[in-house]
Amino acid sequence: MLTVNGINVYYGAIHAIKDVSFHVGDGEIVTLIGANGAGKTTILHTISGLLRTKTGDIKFLDNPINKVEPHEILKMGIAHVPEGRRIFSQMTVLENLQMGAYTRTNKEETNNMIEMVFEKFPRLKERVNQLAGTMSGGEQQMLAIGRALMSKPKLLLMDEPSMGLAPILVQEIFNIIQEINSAGTTILLVEQNANMALSIANRAYVLETGKVVLEGNAKELLGNENVRKAYLG
Ligand X SMILES: Nc1ncnc2c1ncn2[C@@H]1O[C@H](COP(=O)(O)OP(=O)(O)OP(=O)(O)O)[C@@H](O)[C@H]1O
Out of Mg ion, another protein, ligand X, none, what residue 39 binds, judged by CB under 5 to 8 A for its kind, is: ligand X
Q: What residues have CB less than 8 Å from 113, skipping those under 6 apart?
A: 97, 101, 149, 150, 152
Under rule CB under 8 A, residue 233 binds another protein: yes
The dihedral formed by the CA atoms of 28, 220, 81 and 62, expressed in degrees to the nearest 10: -40
**Side chain identity at 76, as an amino acid letter?**
M
**Beta partners for residue 17, in sequence order:** 9
Task: Name residues contacting ligand X, limited to 77-116 (CB under 6 A).
Answer: 83
What is the spatial order of strands in the sheet that 2-11 belongs to?
Answer: 14-24, 2-11, 55-60, 63-64
CB atoms inside a 10 Å sphere around CB 35: 14
Residue 135 sits in the site that holds ligand X (CB under 6 A) = yes
Q: Which of 110, 138, 208, 213 binds ligand X (CB under 6 A)?
A: 138
What is the gyration radius of the CA atoms in the chain, in angstroms? 17
Q: Using CB under 5 A as the criterion, what x/- string covers residues 25-64 for binding Mg ion?
A: ----------------x-----------------------
Q: Choose the contact partner of 121 out of another protein, ligand X, Mg ion, none; CB within 5 to 8 A by kind.
A: none
User: Strands 14-24 and 2-11: what pairing?
Assistant: antiparallel
Strand ordering across the sheet containing 203-208: 78-81, 155-159, 186-190, 29-34, 203-208, 211-217
The mark string for 108-137 relative to Mg ion (x by CB under 5 A, - otherwise) is -----------------------------x
Q: Which of 139, 149, 198, 207 binds another protein (CB under 8 A)?
A: 139
Nearer to another protein, 54 or 86 (CB): 86
Residues that bind another protein (CB under 8 A): 33, 35-37, 48-50, 69-71, 74-75, 79-80, 82, 84, 86-91, 95, 98-100, 102-103, 123, 131, 133-139, 141-142, 147-148, 151, 160, 163-172, 192-195, 229-233
Residues that bind ligand X (CB under 6 A): 11, 14, 16, 34, 36-42, 83, 134-138, 164
